[in-house]
Amino acid sequence: MTSPRVLTAEECVRLLGREGVARVAICTPVGPRIFPVNYVCEGGDSIVFRTSPSSTLGTFAWGTEVAFQVDELDWTTSSGWSVEAVGRPVVVHDPVEIAELRGHGEPHPWAGGSREMFIRLRWKEIAGRSVGTAPLPQEPRDLRPADEDHSALSWHDRRKDHEGP
Amino acid sequence: MSDTGPGNGWPPRRLEELARAECVRLLGSKSVGRVAFVAEGSPVVLPVNYVSSDGMVYFRTSTHNVMAAHLLDAAAAFQVDDVDEFMESGWSVLVQGWAEFLDPEVETEYGLERLAHRIEPWAAGARYLLVRIKPERISGRRLEPR
């Protein structure tokens, strides 16, 4: 067992930049809540996720402090890392900004539906820790199943061609 | 990008609310979750390894950290999920309730002795504080291909 290591701000930003799925913790009048979201990282100083204006996140996840957390934890080796970014998110209203976000093709909510509210968190604090002996990931994330042939198609094509679950 | 379903060519997803019994079962199936609470007006969310029994959530922490300082008899949320980023599907269960500190010396009272090894903290250092989150509400959702 090793002592937890405090990550540098640079390490935190790099790990957050791997994107994927995070959890947003918010304060509501009836206590804290946590929701998973998929997100994109922009410019090394903010993240953006989408929700519906009528959802709990759409109601309480902006204009007040939220905590945004990502981790990769491996039960088999008791290793992993966690990064938490804290700040006061804003709703993105600017059509140009929204068009740019859409142009990047992300973040697309997996659940689909009318999740038309873009929320941006420009964090004021970022902190992280790692435990265990496994090295921090250096490469961008690769979501492909390990047993797939990676050679022939681009990732995007492969997903398009996939027949589904 | 599509506004009616996930992008990247996946078929539309179906979002299903989970029954409490299913949420309790799923809670018992995982070992790492995230606990959220409020510290000086700001939310905090931290990963912990835990065990769950009948919807109760137990984990250990240090007596000298932010959880020890702010979780006592405080409103807390606990969340576990299992997401498949390749398939863009998965589930999430949220426990809303209150945190309390238990005496680890009497953890047999809580039926934890069988499970104790699963809440051995991964990080070194004394983590004697046994925390329980008692649920007031348990909810969950599953996102699946139609």
pLDDT digit string (tens) for A85-99? 999 999 999 999 998
Say what percent of chain A tops pLDDT 90: 50
Q: Judged by CB atoms within 8 Å, which residues 10-39 of A form the interface with B?
A: 20-21, 23, 25-27, 30-36
Q: In this complex, which of A33, A34, A111 lies closest to B15 when CB atoms are compared?
A: A111
Give me the pLDDT at residue B125, please: 67
> Which of A34, A38, A106, A117 is the best mutation test for B, with the most CBs of B within 10 A?
A34
> A46: pLDDT confidence band, cut at 50, 70 and 90?
very high
Task: Tell me whether B73 touches chain A (CB under 8 Å).
Answer: no
pTM of structure: 0.82
Give me the pLDDT at residue A19, please: 83
The beta strands (E) that lie in A15-160 are given as: 20-28, 31-42, 46-51, 66-74, 79-87, 90-91, 117-122, 125-131
Q: Do A73 and B47 touch (CB under 8 A)?
A: yes
Q: Which of A2-6, A9-13, B17-21, B109-113 shows the lowest mean pLDDT across its residues?
A: B109-113
Sheet bearing A46-51, strands edge to edge: A5-6, A125-131, A79-87, A66-74, A20-28, A31-42, A46-51, A117-122, A90-91
CB proximity list for B106: less than 8 A, separation 6 or greater? none
Give me the pLDDT at residue B27, please: 96
Task: Tell me whether A1 touches chain B (CB under 8 Å).
Answer: yes
Task: Tell me whether A72 touches chain B (CB under 8 Å).
Answer: no
Asked if pLDDT for residue A157 goes beyond 60, the answer is no
Interface ipTM: 0.80
Contact B114, B62 (CB under 8 A): no
Give me the pLDDT at residue A119, please: 95
Q: Do A34 and B9 touch (CB under 8 A)?
A: no
CB proximity list for B78: less than 8 A, separation 6 or greater? A34, B33, B34, B35, B36, B50, B57, B94, B95, B97, B133
- Please compute the mean of the pLDDT values over residues A103-108 and round it to a whole number: 72
Q: Largest Cα–Cα distance of chain A, in whole Å?
A: 52
Closest residue by Cα to residue A35 from A26, A27, A48: A26
Give me the pLDDT at residue B106, please: 66
Contact B12, A112 (CB under 8 A): yes
> A61: pLDDT confidence band, cut at 50, 70 and 90?
very high
> A160: pLDDT confidence band, cut at 50, 70 and 90?
very low
Give me the pLDDT at residue A154, please: 36
Q: In this complex, which of A32, A106, A159 lies closest to B43 when CB atoms are compared?
A: A32
Task: Tell me whether A153 touches chain B (CB under 8 Å).
Answer: no
Q: What is the mean pLDDT of chain A?
A: 82
- Rounded CA gap, A42 and A123, in Å? 11
Three-state secondary structure string covering B52-109: EECCEEEEEECCCCHHHHHCCCCEEEEEEEEEECCCCEEEEEEEEEEEEEECHHHHHH
> A3: pLDDT confidence band, cut at 50, 70 and 90?
confident
Sites in chain B below the pLDDT cut of 70: 1-11, 104, 106-117, 124-126
Looking up tokens 């935190």 gives A12
Asked if pLDDT for residue A151 goes beyond 50, the answer is no
Contacts of B46 in chain A (CB under 8 A): 69, 82, 84
Give me the pLDDT at residue A14, please: 94
Give me the pLDDT at residue A137, please: 86
Q: Beta B32-39 vs A31-42: how paired, if at all?
A: unpaired
Interior CA angle at A15 toward A9 and A18, to 5°? 145
Q: Do A67 and B44 touch (CB under 8 A)?
A: yes
Closest residue by Cα to residue B115 from B56, B37, B35: B56
> A106: pLDDT confidence band, cut at 50, 70 and 90?
low
Give CA torsion, residues A153, A155, A161, A162, to 10 deg. 120
Give me the pLDDT at residue A26, please: 96
Chain B nearest CA to A47, separation (Å): 17
- Rounded CA gap, B43 and A86, in Å? 8
